Structure 1
Amino acid sequence: MQERLYNRELSWLSFNHRVLQEAQNPEVPLYERLKFLAIYSSNLDEFFRVRVAALRSFRALGKNTRKELDEARIKNTLRLIRHTVEEQQELFGRIFRGTLLPELQQHGIFLLNARLLSPGQQDFIENYFKKEILPHLQIHWVQGKAGLPFLQNRALYFIVKDADSERFALVNIPSGPLPRFIELPSLEGRHDILFIDDAIRFNLPNLLGINIEGAYSIKLSRNADLPIDDEYSGDLLEKIKRGLEKRHIGPPTRLLYDKEMPASLLEQLKALLELNKNDLIPGAANHNFNDFFDFPNPSSDTSLVYPPMPPLPHPVLDQAKSLLDCMKAGDNVLHYPYHKFDYVIRLIREAAEDPQVEFVKITVYRAASRSAVVDALQYALSKGKKATVFIEAKARFDEEANLQWGEQLKASGADVHYSYPGIKVHAKILLIGRQEDGVIRHYAYLSTGNFNEKTSKIYADHALLSADPRLADEAARVFDLLERKIILPDCKNLLVAPFTLKDKLEGLIDKEIANAKAGLPAYILLKLNSLEEPAMVEKLYEAGQAGVRIKLIIRGICCLKPGVPGLSDNIEAISIVDRFLEHARIYLFASGGDERLYIASADWMKRNLHRRIEVAIPIYDVEVFRQIKHIFELQWQDNCRARVLNAEQDNPMRERGEGAARVRAQEEIYEGVRG
């Protein structure tokens, strides 16, 4: 029997392949293609540290438990992951060596290896090595089963084989404290650059004083899940802090190695690190391509990077003397990264200076490292306002930063709340309470994206500014829930997970099914980061089979198989990977001709619908509704960066019909916002 759901892990790898396609796309400027390689590499690191680590953890379970978890399926998934990643790594290498390096050379930029250094460059590297690199090097000799030190997560090392004995040297590559790339003295009209790896490789004979058989780079990924034994007992905050201290020493999940490494040496490493063959991924001579985010660009050629697309002013909010008055007059929507994020900061600061404002409340999932939002909250506190801040202490890889912001805000007088045991708060809400005519009136900022001015320039999101009591008063109830004043939010308009969101979505789909059977307009338009929740996938299959037309725009994981005869004939799906990261969630239902539209923080995944506090916001304002639906329609028409998601998830680019106009949605949206 054919599987009805596409494997989640393989679907994620298919998404990362779409990132790799952008690195391969000649329409993308050269330095941006290098960045897509860096994004691919960074994504893959996280995948192994989190998802593969979770799959590998079954080995530590008892035999009966492993059987219950379908050990054979897990092992097969790990094999398929390894096979898929190896294929992608081969493509990665062909793109980098076969396309991007030659194109760099056409622009006078040469990434050299040690064999190509001129005598003058060799002298430069010898001096640079002695002054800059040597103080950071550590050398460990390993022979037999002894001597291998602890390998740091994601750090780079050389395995240097002694030709005259069975031992090898482990030498670190200090790409953390030092730049990964060294700009060399060059002839007029060219720019020569060297990996720090190759600078070390060039100096290894003098450094070690041995006859070197070979030097092979490696990188180890470790389990990044926080080791929190029990979220439901004790001090969760302290457990998270202790877990952060242990994250860097988690068990190994992947060894990326130079494919030229001899099999006997690889087998020795595998045994020393207690890995199996599915944990071994062959690669090129250099790893950690996420460092290409910082690859030097000595050229003045502007065609090597994207043309500027600075965030634009909002036509109404920019002219408003008071944002609060503007919100009282009617709803407005911001479309990031096309609009400026400044209005969020301005709104908090306006609230700080308004004598009638009594409080500001906000959820923080991922704040910027230097956060203007936190600065504005501290300003509000300095003006005597009450500030309540809910900080998600379990936002993966941002836990430490979030704890620091929490401590800083608490020291400034904020009422700071942290994670619920067993659940994350993923909703993005800002609430302002203002005394008006003897009662508190609520003003709400409800978003699909984080309160982060840095990511707002690259993540595509929507944010609604509203004083509509149907929305703002229910946002206040969500904060009552977060502050543990109530147990259930009891919202009639907002859909709140894990309480009502899934049930309400199933009800909306059921209505489309009934309308399709009754001959009424029946369609569903969904834009999500990921579609994985099995019950929701089955519900969409049911709707499609009943005659509901379904269009999906899915950036990442898609476990639904579109276009399968007899299963999903009425379901089409595309994925857009482009300059900006598509992060917004949009749900639109025909509703018999009276369309219902929501923007949301929630993907249709088990974790979002069952284990997170999420909010879906109904759009009542006619103009806001029109804008968001228009953006979806533009993206559905994209024939430049849209891939067709099919049952195989092999990512064919959407074909442009003969005579069809070129549509690149992100450019069209930007021009539409600019007016």
Structure 2
Amino acid sequence: MTKNVSQYVNRDLSWIEFNRRVLQEAQDVRNPLLERAKFLAIVTSNLDEFMSVRVAGIQDQMRAGLTKTDFTGYTPGGLWKRLIKRATQMVNEQYRTYREVFRGLSKEGIFIRSFDELNATQTKAVSEYFHEIVFPVLTPMAVDQSRPFPLVHTKELYLAVLLQREGDSTEEEPLFAIVQVPSILSRLVSVPGRTNSKKSEFVLLEDLIEQFINTLFNGYVPFSVHPFRLTRNADLTLDEEGAEDLLEEIEKELRRRRWGIPVRLEIGKGMHPYALETLREELEIEDNLFEIDGPLDLSFLMKFVNSLPGHDNLRYEKMEPVYPREFDDTDDMFEVIRQRDVLMYHPYESFEAVNDFVMQAAYDPDVMAIKMTLYRVSGQSALVQALAKAAESGKQVTVVVELKARFDEERNIAWARQLEKAGCHVVYGLVGLKTHAKILLVVRREQRTLRRYVHVGTGNYNDNTATSYTDIGLFTSHPVIGGDASALFNEVTGYSSPYEWKAFGVAPSDLKEKLYRLIDRERDNALAGNPARIIAKMNSLSNQEMIDKLYEASQAGVKIELIVRGVCCLRPGVLGRSDNIRVISIVDRFLEHARIMYFSNGGEEEIYLSSADWMTRNLTRRIELMCPVFDESLRQILINMLKLNLDDNVKARELKPTGLYETITEEGQEPFRSQFEARHIEKWKGRA
């Protein structure tokens, strides 16, 4: 490496590399074809959020005239150019992969057809569908002196239409109109099969509208029709201090999001220059233009794959989560947790156990109070219904709802209102801090005393994502953890003096400092000639001070292994600075989401579960939680889980000093895929 290379990898460039690893899953021929199509959809959704939040923020800095470099050495302008260049390369690669995947799907009888490929019967069928279903929903919007340019909604698909009056000369200036492709209808329209054919055939909704676009403009001749899609700045700007009602303030801000500053314009390949110039002028977007050779917004592939019947041979083998064995033969979960702590690994073990625990607490006459945090909740949450039932039965139910969970704000507002109507105490956290901790506390009366039962998780209380994210949940009745849990809720919901945590590390008060102490302890052990090791699994690592701490530990001889799925600003393997640090990322069928920290501690091993990534926002601007695992057998289970990840040589990618990721290949080594191995519950729980 040259001397002028920063000792840190830029956060946003690292994110681009993460999304490239997602794209590699779409390109991996070992993955079933329909699963590869899903990964193409995920690449699009990821890039949408990145553009609307991260790139939008960089553009705000550029507009403000900021030229100061960040800690990785980039100015906003320099970073913006590099990001757009890499994003453009990735999108081009994504669409090459799209064409490859659908060539493969066509061999399996799944086609997206163009109109000239349809026979007369099929053409008649889609024509009837257009006139009966699509046409009544469409609204052509002309742009002229009397009709200003309409509002273009973020991330919605539109058609830009150029027209001439019948009989006008082609030299006349074109007329311009837009038509929104209705998102309420499926992007892929099923085409009836050919005679004796088992093929699944579809046409794109925008192609169907284009084919019959003349029906929307009587007396005019459409001569150019091309799709476009706009991405706007989607970050919320809230004055929490001055907001009398946070719900109302967020609802207003969500409405304002529709008018966010344009960030990116995607257009179909070959758009007419006049149409493009009109869009650029009216939307006031000069740069960040993506010309797409294929259907815009491939996120539709997720819904398409999920709704496509049959073709199980083109999907991952179904995996049914098993119910945690510890709760298998009992109707009283409290009795089990009183006797021992219980660890769950989702999605291999069922999230239903959490739902059942809250439901049992709701109906148990000895339960006096239930308190929990909700960050992202599924559409039909059994937890919310159980909490409402508990409140209606007279229990004290307190729910800390995070209204500012990005892109889930509207759903969380709806649940908050439902819980309030049921009689729950709904709290919206502390001003300026997102509540990201995942914790559930049940207070129960037992033999003239009170006992606290706690569930701590690394992921959201969401039964949908619990089937597709890997996360850890811990049930415990340990009195020290119970005491800390009560103190945490008191700090969030009321006035409370700073609390001296007995077990927890809590952000923003002391989590960062506690992690520093744990890292420094390993450093001191290494300097004293004792074994020293850190294993940390998380989603992102971008806090400069935390990275510097890890560099210090590495220089002292601490062996550090990091499993970081997404952004990693640490540059490993640099001689004299980070040569004792190894970083891998695993992208596979399930989203790696658990946060687990291991410290060898001179042989007295310690393991922690956490809601927090090692990012500045998590350590300083969110309420986060790190909880120790006291049970020795459970600590060993978690170490086994970490070893599964570290041994992965199929889906793991290793971060090199260049900031790029490479596959892990060792000659003669048997393939080892950690997510496949993790399915063997009995094995990693040490029972086999």
Percent identity over paired residues: 37
Q: Residue 232 of structure 1: CA displacement?
A: 5.4
Question: Structure 1 counterpart of 2:596, which letter?
Answer: I
Choose which of 254, 266, 275 in structure 2 pairs with 1:256.
266
Match of 1:83 among 82, 85, 101: 85
Q: Structure 1 residues 122, 353: closer, same or farther in 2, change over 3 A?
A: closer
1:667 is aligned to 2:676: yes
Per-residue deviation, 1:489: 3.1
Instruction: Identify the residue that residue 177 of structure 1 maps to in structure 2.
Output: 184
Could you say which residue in structure 1 is the equivalent of 2:494? 484
Does the 8 A contact of 2:214 with 2:220 survive in 1? Answer: yes
Alignment of 1:256-655 (within 5 A): 256-263=266-273, 265-277=275-287, 279-295=288-304, 300-655=310-665
Q: Name 1:12's counterpart in structure 2.
A: 15
Partner residue in 1 for 2:115: 114
**Alpha-carbon distance between aligned partners in 1 of 2:415 and 2:311, rounded to the nearest angstrom:** 40
Give the partner amino acid of 2:192: P
Match of 1:150 in 2: 151
Equivalent position of 2:24 in the other structure: 21
What amino acid maps onto 1:129 in structure 2? Answer: F
One of 201, 210, 215 as aligned partner of 1:201: 210
Contact 1:143 1:166 in 2 (8 A): no
Q: For residue 191 of structure 1, report the CA deviation from its aligned partner.
A: 2.2
| TM-fit CA distance, 1:221 | 0.8
2:536–2:563: 8 Å Cα contact kept in structure 1?
yes
After TM superposition, the structure 1 stretch with the greater mean CA deviation from structure 2, 292-301 or 464-473, is 292-301
Give unpaired runs (5+ residues) of structure 2: 165-169
Q: Distance in 1 between matches of 2:675 and 2:112?
A: 32
Given residue 381 of structure 1, which amino acid in structure 2 is its aligned partner?
A
Cα drift, residue 211 of structure 1: 4.8
Q: Deviations over 1:155-206 (max 9, x none)?
A: 1111223473433533334341111111112221322211101111211245
Q: Per-residue CA shift, 1:375-409, capped at 9, x if unaligned?
A: 11122223321111111111111112112211111
Deviations 1:469-491 (A, max 9, x none): 12121111111111124132321
CA distance in 2, matches of 1:454, 1:230: 30
Distance 1:352 1:206, change over 3 A: closer
Deviations 1:112-164 (A, max 9, x none): 11232222222222222111111122223346998421101111111223473
Task: Find the aligned partners of 1:312 and 1:389 in 2 and give their Cα distance.
Answer: 28
How far off is 1:468 after superposition?
0.6
Shift, 1:555, TM fit:
0.7
Distance 2:557 2:429 in 1: 42
Distance 2:499 2:104 in 1: 57
Asked if the contact 2:346–2:469 (Cα under 8 Å) also holds between the matched residues in 1, the reply is: yes
- Which residue identity lines up with residue 23 of structure 1 in the other structure? A
Secondary structure of 1:388 counterpart = strand
- Relative to structure 1, the CA distance from residue 60 to residue 298 in structure 2 (aligned partners, 3 Å threshold; closer, same or farther) is closer
Aligned residues: 669
Does structure 2 conserve the Cα–Cα contact (< 8 Å) formed by 1:216 and 1:285? no
Q: 1:600 to 1:416 in 2, by over 3 A?
A: same
Q: Give the 3 Å change call, closer, same or farther, for CA 145–2 of structure 1 in structure 2.
A: farther
Q: Secondary structure at the match of 1:289?
A: coil
Under a length normalisation based on structure 1, what TM-score does the superposition of the two structures give?
0.95
For 1:48, which of 44, 51, 54 is the aligned residue?
A: 51
Equivalent residue of 2:444, what SS?
Answer: strand
Query: CA separation in 1, counterparts of 2:388 and 2:309?
Result: 42
Alpha-carbon separation, structure 1, partners of 2:620 and 2:224: 52
Distance in structure 1 (CA, Å) of the matches to 2:675 and 2:294:
36
Q: CA deviation at 1:673?
A: 4.4
8 A contact 2:95–2:294 mirrored in 1: no
Aligned-pair CA distance for 1:282: 2.0
Compare 459-468 and 115-124 and name the one that shifted more.
115-124
- The 3 A distance-change label for structure 1 pair 569 and 262 is farther
Tell me whether 235-244 or 511-520 shows the greater mean CA deviation.
235-244
Compute the displacement of 1:321 (Å). Answer: 3.0
Q: Is the 8 A contact 1:460 1:584 kept in 2?
A: yes
- CA–CA separation in structure 2 for the residues paired with 1:459 and 1:72: 33
Matched to 1:184, the amino acid is V
Instruction: Tell me, yes or no, if the aligned pair for 1:552 and 1:571 is still in contact at 8 Å.
Output: yes
Report the CA distance shift for 1:148/1:312 in structure 2 as closer, same or farther (over 3 A).
same
CA distance in 1, matches of 2:202, 2:661: 34
Change in Cα spacing, 1:262 to 1:673, as seen in structure 2 (3 Å) is farther
The CA distance in 2 between the partners of 1:579 and 1:445, in whole Å, is 26
* Inter-CA distance 408–298: structure 2 relative to 1 (3 Å threshold): closer
Deviates more, 1:233-242 or 1:335-344: 233-242
Amino acid of the residue matched to residue 77 of structure 2? K
Which whole-Å CA distance do the structure 1 matches of 2:580 and 2:393 have between them? 56
Call closer, same or farther: CA 1:571–1:264 in 2, change over 3 Å.
farther
Partner of 1:32: 35
Cα displacement (A) at 1:648: 3.2
- What's 2:167 paired with? none
Check 1:231–1:288 CA distance in 2 against 1; reply closer, same or farther (3 A cut). farther
Letter in 2 for 1:150: L
